Each structure stands twice: as C-alpha cells, then as structure tokens.
C-alpha cells in the first residue's frame, strides 16, 4: 500500500529548485514569515531572496551571514527599517544560527496576488458634479485624466 505524503514534501520537491536559485535553502522562511515578523508587517513585506557572500572563509569557521532582500510596501519601509535588527534576530533564532546579517529593502507592491482591487461605486449625483467640473477643459486627454481622478476621489468602496 502506498504511503500518503504530506503536502509539504510535494511542494518542496516542486518549487524547491526555484527557491534555491533565489538563495533560499527551503520554502520554510516564506511559510514562517508571518510568525517571524508578525501578521501586520507580513501583509506589507515578504522575503524576495537571500544573497550569500561569494568568498568563503576558512571551512573550520562558521559560514558568513547572508543578506535578506525584502520586498516592502513603501508606507511600511520606515517601520521595517526600524525593526530590521529585531527581524534579523528573530530569523536567526528561528534557524538557530546567524544566517542573516543584514536586510536590504526593495520598495514594491506586495499585495495579495489574485485578489482584484475592490470595485467602487459612484453616486450618480456626484458623477454629474465631476462631469460638469471637467466639461470646460478643452484638451481631451487632460479632461479624461481629470475625470478619472475626480471619480476616484468621490467613489465610495463597495460593501
């Protein structure tokens, strides 16, 4: 009878080589990221890759620490910058050795993949106000751009 394999074993075999190309020894840091940095910060940043030093010291010494490159939403970059020493300490405690020596931040959108932005509805009365406000603008491109901007400002999130 065939043994049922845990999903983690199958995933590691499938995507392990891709993560290894980015410097990750396993997918573990991605799975443990919310536990390491906290749920709030994990929503706005994620590890992108680990850069390991090219030169290796004497093989008897401990290996050199790597640099963790983290994608972070711009509004949380300052917070992550202030928390970087704590995050490094938590990562190293998670793995049991000083594997990360510093964090480099790359500002980028980290939004959840596959989740479309929420649709916003515009009150017809407000729509008319925006159209009237931009109707006197002669340049069609500018008028359209300001119309879209005005709609974005007056739109309310759909509930």
- Please check whether residues 87 and 130 belong to one and the same domain: no
Please state, rounded to an integer, the average pLDDT across all residues of the chain: 79
pLDDT digits (tens, 9 = 90+) for 104-117: 999 988 866 555 55
The radius of gyration of the chain's CA atoms, rounded to the nearest angstrom, is: 24
- Please check whether residues 126 and 62 belong to one and the same domain: no
Strand partners, 50: 68
Asked whether residue 43 is assigned to any structural domain, the reply reads yes
Per the CB < 8 A criterion, the answer to whether 130 and 150 are in contact is: yes
pLDDT-based confidence at 31, cuts 50/70/90? confident
pLDDT digits (tens, 9 = 90+) for 92-147: 998 888 889 999 999 988 866 555 556 677 888 888 999 999 999 999 999 998 89
- Please check whether residues 125 and 90 belong to one and the same domain: no
Residue 77 CA to residue 60 CA, distance in Å, equals 37
- Please check whether residues 91 and 125 belong to one and the same domain: no
pLDDT digits (tens, 9 = 90+) for 54-92: 776 665 555 678 899 999 998 889 999 999 999 999 999
Backbone phi, then psi, for 11, in 5-degree steps? -65, -45
pTM over 0.85? The answer is no
Asked whether residue 149 is assigned to any structural domain, the reply reads yes
Asked whether residue 3 is assigned to any structural domain, the reply reads no
pLDDT at 133: 92
Residue with the larger pLDDT of the pair 115 and 156? 156
pLDDT at 12: 53
- Please check whether residues 150 and 100 belong to one and the same domain: no
User: Which secondary structure element, helix H or strand E, spans residue 69, and what is its range?
Assistant: strand 66-72
How many domains does the chain fold into? 2
What domain range includes position 139? Answer: 120-157
Residue 120 CA to residue 128 CA, distance in Å, equals 16
């Amino acid at each position: 009878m065939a043994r049922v394999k845990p999903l983690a074993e199958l995933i590691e075999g499938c995507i392990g080589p891709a993560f290894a190309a980015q410097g990750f020894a396993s997918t573990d840091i991605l799975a443990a990221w919310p536990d390491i940095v906290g749920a709030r910060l994990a929503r706005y940043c994620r590890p992108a890759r680990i850069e390991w030093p090219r030169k290796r010291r004497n093989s008897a010494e401990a290996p050199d620490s790597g640099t963790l490159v983290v994608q972070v939403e711009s509004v949380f970059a300052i917070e992550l910058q202030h928390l970087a020493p704590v995050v490094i300490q938590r990562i190293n405690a998670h793995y049991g050795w000083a594997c990360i020596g510093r964090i480099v931040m790359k500002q980028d959108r980290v939004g959840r993949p596959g989740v479309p932005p929420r649709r916003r509805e515009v009150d017809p009365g407000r729509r008319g106000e925006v159209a009237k406000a931009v109707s006197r603008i002669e340049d069609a491109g500018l008028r359209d751009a300001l119309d879209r901007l005005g709609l974005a400002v007056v739109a309310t999130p759909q509930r």
